[in-house]
Amino acid sequence: EVQLVQSGAEVKKPGESLRISCKGSGYSFTSYWISWVRQMPGKGLEWMGRIDPSDSYTNYSPSFQGHVTISADKSISTAYLQWSSLKASDTAMYYCARQELGPDYWYFDLWGRGTLVTVSS
Amino acid sequence: DIQMTQSPSSLSASVGDRVTITCRASQGISNYLAWYQQKPGKVPKLLIYAASTLQSGVPSRFSGSGSGTDFTLTISSLQPEDVATYYCQKYNSALLTFGQGTRLEIK
């Protein structure tokens, strides 16, 4: 089955670090970008950035550049989203989603089920 | 940066109604536009890409049109299971952007 499997929900304190994951299966992991999308409680979808797992090239939304780091380990078909110092405002659902590499195909055709991150003191 | 503006922000319609949601880009994006459906508590789902191409498995009552700056998503006959928030997304450049969403309810 073609799927993206995300890591489980996290509860963290402000200032803590965190890395969440997204594992692709059933398809060629290096043939698709993996993007991360944030959805704050009751709000819309926000694209954060993406990675090409074949060479780890990344590009970020200006809104998230410098606040998070996206990485990937193609040997285990897994992409990551990482924070070095969480804030309460990072509380949200985070989805990973894939896009074909070619520029005509940069829509999201497969989504993970989401990882809920709660940051609270 | 190109902004994506959806209208209306919310709407209520009756079962069987024809429903239209609009997405406007602040600059031309050719046909590099997708539409997604997110049902309450669920994962977003791709409905349409390239402005008018229906994703496999999506009911034919959904259709998309437009090019350049103005796009529409149409549901030809609203069904109860179509209650959801709908998002447009541009992908003409490496800066991917969603519209703010349109919440659709049944009257």
Interface test with B, best of A3, A32, A37, A45 (most B CBs within 10 A): A45
Strand partners, A81: A20, A70
Q: What is the pLDDT of residue A102?
A: 85
What is the three-class DSSP state of B82?
helix
Running DSSP on this structure, what letter comes out for residue A26? S
Q: Report the distance separating Cα A32 and Cα A27, nearest Å.
A: 9
Q: Which chain A residues have a beta carbon less than 8 Å from that of B50?
A: 104
Tell me what pLDDT residue A103 has.
Answer: 81
Tokens in use for B23? 């997405």
B1 and A62 within 8 Å at the Cβ level: the answer is yes
Render each residue's pLDDT in chain B as its tens digit; 107 residues. 999 999 999 999 999 999 999 999 999 999 999 999 999 999 999 999 999 999 999 999 999 999 999 999 999 999 999 999 999 999 999 999 999 999 999 99
Tell which A residues from 25 to 54 touch B, by Cβ distance under 8 Å.
35, 37, 44-47, 50
Q: Which of B46, B96, B98 to mutate to test the interface with A (most CBs of A within 10 A)?
A: B96
Confidence of residue A5 (pLDDT cuts 50, 70, 90): very high
Q: In the prediction, which pLDDT does A117 show?
A: 98
- Torsion sign across C-alpha atoms A105, B51, B22, B5: positive
In this structure, are residues A74 and A27 in contact, taking their beta carbons and an 8 Å threshold? no
A61-118 tens-digit pLDDT: 999 999 999 999 999 999 999 999 999 999 999 999 999 888 888 999 999 999 999 9
